[in-house]
Amino acid sequence: MEDLDASFAAIPDVHYEILKLLTKDREGVMEFRISGTHTGSIEGPSGSIPATNRKVSWTGAEFFRIDSKGLVVEERRYFDAESLRKQFGLSK
């Protein structure tokens, strides 16, 4: 989750909203929306993206598995990266 910490540092007014949460046994899936103002540098797949001071918002999904102690032991996140690139002004 270190990547989320870095993202949230670049978007200090971050708002994280859970849109849907489904669980069965020790597995779950969550749909989320993240929004805020991009005021700090953030690492992207092609390198560092300097602050744009733009409002950004994206949705995604996270799949996770929880152990017997209630700790997340596996997680995968997916989101529309191209939409976010457009909001950063990196693509049309």
- Of the pLDDT bands very low, low, confident and very high (cuts 50, 70, 90), residue 44 is confident
**71: Cβ contacts below 8 Å, ≥ 6 apart:** none
Determine contact, residues 54/43, Cβ cutoff 8 Å. Answer: no
pTM higher than the cut 0.85? no
**pLDDT(47) > 90:** no
pLDDT in tens, 7-19: 678 899 999 999 9
SS3 (DSSP) at 4: helix
pLDDT in tens, 55-84: 999 999 999 999 999 999 999 999 988 888
Determine contact, residues 71/42, Cβ cutoff 8 Å. Answer: no
CA-CA distance, 75 to 90, in Å (whole number)? 28
